[in-house]
Structure 1
Amino acid sequence: MKHDIEIKTADGTARAAVIKPENRAATVKGVVMYMDAFGPRQALYDMGRRIADAGHIVLVPDLYYRSGPYEPFNAKTAFSDESTKTKLRSMMQATTQELTARDGAAFIDALEAAGATGPIAVVGYCMGGARALTAAARYPDRVKAAASFHGGNLASDADDSPHRLADKIKARVYVGVAGVDNSFPPEQSGRLAEALRSGGVDHTIENYVGMAHGWAVPDHSVYNEQGSERHFKRLLTLLEEAL
């Protein structure tokens, strides 16, 4: 059961979708799904439904709300068309890690208002992967599970790289890495692993050999059904064990 809501944040109003399980138990845990670069759309809502069907309330917020109204981008063509590529990159650059992290409190409040109880989980795809790990660090008393799938720049040289916050994370962390991914090369994977180990974080970093950046999301040109099913299995196991 999906319905649209509006979330008041420090910087305005973010639209979001709430997806609830059809057969709701007395206690339902919450999950924030951090979108990929192409914005909230049916492909992400369908993925949220899979998570909800396992007994969770899922929130899919629009991270681009500060940029004004827009239509979701076509994941297959957005970066090959010059006009949409320019617009998309501009929106991505304007949606900084810090701004998204600041929104986290409002997202958690929205989950609670929707009926979620107890600790929550965060999961992110592509650019959302870094947001999920950052949220785990910024809200350690609430976030008990964090997952990134084909997330980019998780351990870059940037000041806001999530690996720099590893010692603040209390959640169990799972990172699913695309086999070949220029946005998260092997040296970043090693740097992230070292940071998580040094920070005492319970974590798993798994390499999806043969998968390309974006493999888990159904409307991506590189979508891989077998890899996506594997990602759902890992994610739902994490949620069951950590929450």
Structure 2
Amino acid sequence: MRDWQNLPGPGPSSRRYPDAVSTELITIPAPDGTAEAIVARPSSGEGLFPGVILYMDAFGLRPRIEEMAQRIADWGYVVLAPNVFYREGAAAELAPQTDMTTPEGREAAGKAAFPRVRGLTASKALPDIDAWVAALRGLPGAAPGPIGTTGYCMGARLAVRTAAAHPEAVAACGGFHGGGLATDEADSPHLGLRQARARFVFGHADHDRSMGPEAVARLDAALAEAGLTASNVIYSGAAHGYTMADTSAYNEEAAERHFRELRELLDTTLKGPADL
């Protein structure tokens, strides 16, 4: 993992990596402290680009999230990936300590991360979301106008909450191998879809205990009731975490399918005909 220690203090200052020309790690003010965030911009080209918030999975900011942010940025976007666990520590401090390419290592990393996931309640997440949207809006190179968001694992919940909390801003929302998107809880993310105006694309993991067929059907009904344009499908044979190439759950075919569907979502909602 990159050395993300010794960052400058809060504010616009940041450090650019020599081996990732278009990517930087910044610090931004958040409701309960200072949060790190990866910022990725197109590797080539100048001007203004639509903004996208990328919500990490439970394993946190790390090289795989940086790679994904840069890939999206190279489609013509400015991407912000915040450390949503900033209350618990810096990204480097929270980084997985095991080899997640083995099932045993991934399970151990998951056990370490689950308390942080449970602790990020809706009452904490919603003020944070306001900060992430404001930070994205203030980034150099980020165009005014609609933004997109995409989330992975528990990050899919944050993406949906972002679309519901900022309907005037969020035009595109993706959620991939998400968990807990449609539950019996009073603050379940799917209940906020009535406020959303975005177009949605969901790619659920197959046989996912955190998002089973009944939950997928409940989400589908909520999307339809809200009158939203959406794709809400299960990726056959793809396990929870299928996009994460640094874990044993990685499924290249499903991951590439997700990138294709996400790009089509972002391009058709955030770019004009001349940009496509």
- Which TM class, normalised by the smaller chain length? over 0.9
Equivalent residue, structure 1, for 2:44: 23
Quick one: distance in 1 between partners of 2:243 and 2:106?
Answer: 18
- Among candidates 60, 74, 81, match of residue 60 of structure 1: 81
- TM-score (ref. length: structure 1): 0.94
Equivalent residue, structure 2, for 1:112: 137
Equivalent residue, structure 2, for 1:150: 177
Quick one: distance in 2 between partners of 1:148 and 1:127?
Answer: 9
Instruction: State the superposition RMSD in angstroms.
Output: 1.5
Higher Rg of the two aligned structures: 2
Per the TM alignment, residue 94 of structure 1 is displaced from its structure 2 partner at its CA by: 1.4
SS in 2 for 1:31: strand
Deviations 1:176-205 (A, max 9, x none): 011210100000011111011001111111
Instruction: Report whether the alignment pairs 1:71 with 2:97.
Output: no
Deviations 1:62-119 (A, max 9, x none): 01101123231244455533xx555422211211233222112211222122221121
Number of residue pairs the alignment of both structures matches: 241
Instruction: Report whether the alignment pairs 1:162 with 2:189.
Output: yes
Instruction: Report whether the alignment pairs 1:221 with 2:248.
Output: yes
Instruction: Report whether the alignment pairs 1:174 with 2:201.
Output: yes
Aligned residues with identical type, % of pairs: 39
Quick one: distance in 1 between partners of 2:79 and 2:234?
Answer: 26
CA contact (8 A) 2:52 2:149 kept: yes
1:44-59 correspondence runs (5 A): 44-59=65-80
Equivalent residue, structure 2, for 1:7: 28
Quick one: distance in 2 between partners of 1:192 and 1:32?
Answer: 22
Per the TM alignment, residue 126 of structure 1 is displaced from its structure 2 partner at its CA by: 0.4
SS in 2 for 1:229: helix
Per the TM alignment, residue 227 of structure 1 is displaced from its structure 2 partner at its CA by: 1.1
- Among candidates 109, 112, 120, match of residue 95 of structure 1: 120
Quick one: distance in 2 between partners of 1:27 and 1:189?
Answer: 36
- TM-score (ref. length: structure 2): 0.83
CA gap of 1:178–1:68, structure 2 versus 1, over 3 A, is same
CA contact (8 A) 1:137 1:168 kept: yes
SS in 2 for 1:239: helix
SS in 1 for 2:84: coil
SS in 2 for 1:7: strand
CA gap of 1:188–1:85, structure 2 versus 1, over 3 A, is closer
Quick one: distance in 2 between partners of 1:108 and 1:205?
Answer: 25
Per the TM alignment, residue 154 of structure 1 is displaced from its structure 2 partner at its CA by: 0.6
CA contact (8 A) 2:191 2:222 kept: yes
Equivalent residue, structure 2, for 1:34: 55
Equivalent residue, structure 2, for 1:200: 227
Quick one: distance in 2 between partners of 1:13 and 1:27?
Answer: 26
